[in-house]
């Protein structure tokens, strides 16, 4: 169907996202050669057992030699260290990109190391699950999903076109944003929901009056959906919180204000206020479904979603 777009693609980090990329690149024949690198020897061995690449090395600086496309798929807090390591061996004319959930911080960490002549175009596929590691990835993860690119001013248009075509070949729709805008949008639609989930599951876990067995037994009552998000990778989400600090704190402040409004309405029995909010939020859900964005993660644990809205 597709054909070779890059002679050599280097994948730095081979967890959920890196390994899904590897599977898609191979399935669609987008690379002449896939070179896989990751820091931990066990993960590298597992990637080899799964046959995710053509070559494997623990040394990221070796993996990128001669690569036309380098994709960094590591927790955002590790982006700077990876960039520093690989920078001296990046090929002139190569495209360097990432998949990190935050953009301004990744750009601040990586840019200082990017040599002249290398096209650094940060990216973020809005696709994933609560699972991590090379076994968690799967072919087709990015199909029908958005990928946001945050190209720097003066970006090489050919390089941008090539990276756009790459994500399109994986079935994604590509959008462009400035990094700070990306970080604000993602803070509300992705980062805050995860933080709220971590918080509510933590609260339930702390409650002495609710025994563990009751939390599990009655988890179908709304709690279960939160536990899926709250099972997401701790390293990844620690890094997201630390590296999108300002936008997340801004959204949390608004969230707390709105929660206080809700709390007050409940205390004073203001049913009309509750009804008005709950009607408005139901309309949001309906708009998402109408826009065709109600794509379930192809995994267990999502069947409690009410498709009828
Ligand atoms: N999990 C998700 O649903 C999504 C994650 N992302 C972003 O993608 C990136 C990767 O996330 P996942 O694949 O989910 O994580 P993961 O935990 O499944 O994989 C991370 C990989 O990075 C490697 N790694 C960690 N530190 C490293 C370092 N210093 N040097 C080299 N390799 C290192 C690990 O060995 C592993 O191979 C993160 O930046 C995350 O924010 C983006 C979209 C969705
Ligand atoms: O599992 C889910 O529901 C997600 O929200 C996956 C996800 C996590 C982080 C991202 O930056 C993008 C997508």
Note the pLDDT tens digit of each residue in 104-116. 999 999 999 999 9
87 lies in the same domain as 103:
yes
Which tokens go with 236?
Answer: 């990844």
Which tokens go with 223?
Answer: 């709690």
Structural domain boundaries enclosing 41:
6-177
The residues pairing with 34 across neighbouring beta strands, listed in sequence order, are 9
Mutational test site, ligand 2, from 106, 189, 190, 302, max ligand atoms within 8 Å of CB = 190
| Residue 104 falls inside a structural domain | yes
Mutational test site, ligand 1, from 11, 14, 15, max ligand atoms within 8 Å of CB = 15
160 lies in the same domain as 258:
no
| Residue 293 falls inside a structural domain | no
40 lies in the same domain as 85:
yes
Mutational test site, ligand 2, from 129, 188, 304, max ligand atoms within 8 Å of CB = 129
| Residue 300 falls inside a structural domain | no
105 lies in the same domain as 130:
yes
pLDDT tens for residues 224-253? 899 999 999 999 999 999 999 999 999 999
Among 159, 177, 195, residue at a domain's last position:
177
ipTM above 0.95, yes or no: yes
Q: What is the mean pLDDT of the chain?
A: 92
Q: How far is CA 190 from CA 68, 180, 182, 199, in A?
A: 31, 15, 11, 14
| Residue 279 falls inside a structural domain | no
Among 131, 151, 177, residue at a domain's last position:
177
d(CA 100, CA 17): 10
* pTM confidence score: 0.93
169 lies in the same domain as 195:
no
Which tokens go with 145?
Answer: 């999903």
pLDDT tens for residues 180-201? 999 999 999 999 999 999 999 9
pLDDT tens for residues 51-83? 999 999 999 999 999 999 999 999 999 999 999
Whose CA is closest to 163, among 172, 33, 154?
172
Four-point Cα dihedral 101, 155, 62, 72, nearest 10: 10
Which tokens go with 167?
Answer: 């994500």
| 297 has a pLDDT exceeding 60 | no
| Residue 112 falls inside a structural domain | yes
Which residues have C-beta atoms less than 6 Å from ligand 2?
Answer: 101, 126-130, 190, 297
| 206 has a pLDDT exceeding 80 | yes
d(CA 174, CA 176): 7
171 lies in the same domain as 228:
no
- Share in percent of the chain as helix, strand, coil (round to 5): 50, 10, 35
30 lies in the same domain as 163:
yes
We report the CATH number of the domain holding residue 205 as 1.10.3660.10
| Residue 302 falls inside a structural domain | no
115 lies in the same domain as 165:
yes
| Residue 299 falls inside a structural domain | no
**CB of 151 shorter than 6 A to ligand 1:** no
We report the CATH number of the domain holding residue 69 as 3.40.50.720
**What is the maximal distance between C-alpha atoms in the chain?**
67
| 298 has a pLDDT exceeding 90 | no
22 lies in the same domain as 103:
yes
Average pLDDT over residues 95-100: 99
User: What is the tally of structural domains in the chain?
Assistant: 2
Ligand 2 atom closest to Cα of residue 124: 11
Ligand 2 atom closest to Cα of residue 125: 12
Radius of gyration (C-alpha) of the chain in whole angstroms = 21
150 lies in the same domain as 69:
yes
| Residue 277 falls inside a structural domain | no
Strands 123-125 and 146-149: antiparallel
Ligand 2 atom closest to Cα of residue 129: 1
173 lies in the same domain as 40:
yes
| 296 has a pLDDT exceeding 60 | no
Owner of token pair 């109600």: 294
Among 177, 205, 235, residue at a domain's last position:
177
| 303 has a pLDDT exceeding 50 | no
225 lies in the same domain as 149:
no
**CB of 100 shorter than 6 A to ligand 1:** yes
| 146 has a pLDDT exceeding 60 | yes
> For residue 301, which ligand has an atom nearest its CA?
2
CB 99 within 8 A of CB 38: no
Q: How far is CA 207 from CA 67, 82, 195, 222, in A?
A: 52, 41, 18, 17
């Amino acid at each position: 169907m597709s054909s070779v777009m890059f002679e050599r693609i280097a994948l730095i980090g081979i967890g959920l996202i890196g390994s899904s990329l590897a599977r898609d690149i191979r399935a669609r024949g987008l690379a002449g050669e896939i070179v896989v690198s990751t820091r931990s020897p066990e993960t590298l061995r597992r990637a080899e057992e799964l046959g995710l690449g053509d070559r494997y090395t623990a040394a990221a600086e070796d993996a990128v030699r001669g690569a036309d496309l380098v994709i960094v798929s590591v927790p955002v807090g590790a982006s700077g260290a990876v960039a520093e390591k690989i920078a001296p061996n990046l090929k002139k004319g190569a495209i360097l990109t990432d998949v990190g959930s935050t953009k301004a911080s990744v750009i601040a960490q990586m840019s200082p190391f990017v040599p002249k002549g290398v096209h650094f175009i940060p990216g973020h596929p809005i696709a994933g699950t609560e699972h991590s590691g090379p076994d968690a990835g799967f072919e087709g993860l990015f199909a029908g999903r958005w990928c946001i690119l945050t190209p720097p001013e003066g970006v090489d248009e050919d390089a941008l076109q090539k990276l756009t075509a790459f994500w399109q070949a994986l079935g994604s729709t590509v959008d462009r944003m400035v990094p700070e805008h990306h970080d604000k949008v993602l803070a509300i639609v992705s980062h805050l929901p995860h933080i709220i989930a971590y918080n509510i599951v933590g609260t339930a876990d702390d409650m002495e009056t609710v025994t563990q067995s009751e939390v599990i037994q009655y988890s179908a009552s709304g709690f279960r959906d939160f536990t899926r998000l709250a099972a997401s990778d701790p390293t990844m989400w620690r890094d997201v919180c630390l590296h999108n600090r300002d936008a997340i704190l801004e959204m949390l402040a608004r969230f707390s204000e709105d929660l206080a409004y809700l709390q007050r309405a409940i205390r004073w029995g203001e049913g009309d206020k509750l009804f008005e909010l709950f009607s408005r939020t139901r309309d949001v859900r309906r708009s998402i479904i109408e826009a065709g964005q109600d794509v379930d993660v192809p995994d267990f644990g999502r069947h409690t979603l009410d498709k009828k809205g």
